[in-house]
Every structure is written in structure tokens, then in C-alpha cells.
Amino acid sequence: MPQRSLKEVMKRLNDSFNDIRTFPLRKVRRLVESLKSYIDKDWATLEKDFLNYYDANRHDTRFILHDLKELTSNWKHRIVKSLADWKKYERQFITIAGWLHAQETISDKEQDAYFLKRPSFVSQSTISND
């Protein structure tokens, strides 16, 4: 049986406190059934308890600011010789910086500033379209 994500479990629990009895993972079910918040049917506290015990924030963090700094630092000294190289950098940058921006870890100005630390270019006439 496929393992459910923590968010799926929380959505499922949100529907009804009794749904925990149908949850397939015995260890999870036993933990939740033992929590005071479950016994008291206090949904808000149960959600906090559950997320705390399963360290949900750790699974939601894809990138940290160090990842963006490392990317820009690694690419800063490269010379982009082809459009394919530039697109590769652009995809990597957008993946990391876009996620950090969406999480409000960096502002628009910070994202722009990091983007300006881009790799060097060869003249446009010598760039190949690989």
C-alpha cells in the first residue's frame, strides 16, 4: 500500500476524528489515539501535535538561502558559451530562487540581486544554439 504524505493524513483527519481508525499505519494510529488532543477531540491542537511529532516543516523545506548562494557562486566564474548552458543556469536559478521567493525567504529585490550574479557570457555572435 502506498505511503500517504503528512498533508494527506491531516486532510483525512480533518474530515472526522473517527477516520484515524481506518488509517493503515498502526504506529501512527496508536500515537494519534494516545494524544490528549485526540481524546479531547481538539482538532487544532491535534494538528499541531501531529505536525510536531512528525517534524512536518522539515519535509516542506526544499531549499535554503545557502543553496541559492552556492548556485550563484558556482556559476559566477563560468563562461556561458551556448544557449543550452544559459537555459540550464536559468532553470536551476528559477527552481531555487522561485521557491525561496514563494516562501517569502527572499524579497523581489534580493531575487533580482542574486540573478545579477549570473555567469559571464561570450559575445552574442559566438554563442552556439546547442
Domain segments of the chain as ranges: 6-60, 65-126
Q: Which residues of 93-129 are buried (b: 16+ CB within 10 A; e: fewer)?
A: beebbebbbeeebbeeeebeebeeebbeeeeeeebee
- Please write the tens of the pLDDT for every residue from 19-66: 555 555 677 778 878 888 888 888 888 888 877 777 666 656 788 999
Global pTM value: 0.53
Residue 65 has what pLDDT?
A: 93
Residue 117 has what pLDDT?
A: 85
- Please write the tens of the pLDDT for every residue from 86-118: 899 999 999 999 999 998 999 999 999 998 888
Q: Which triple of cell numbers denotes residue 69?
A: 548562494
For 128, the enclosing helix (H) or strand (E) is: none
- CB contact at 8 A, 46 and 13: yes
Residue 1 has what pLDDT?
A: 41
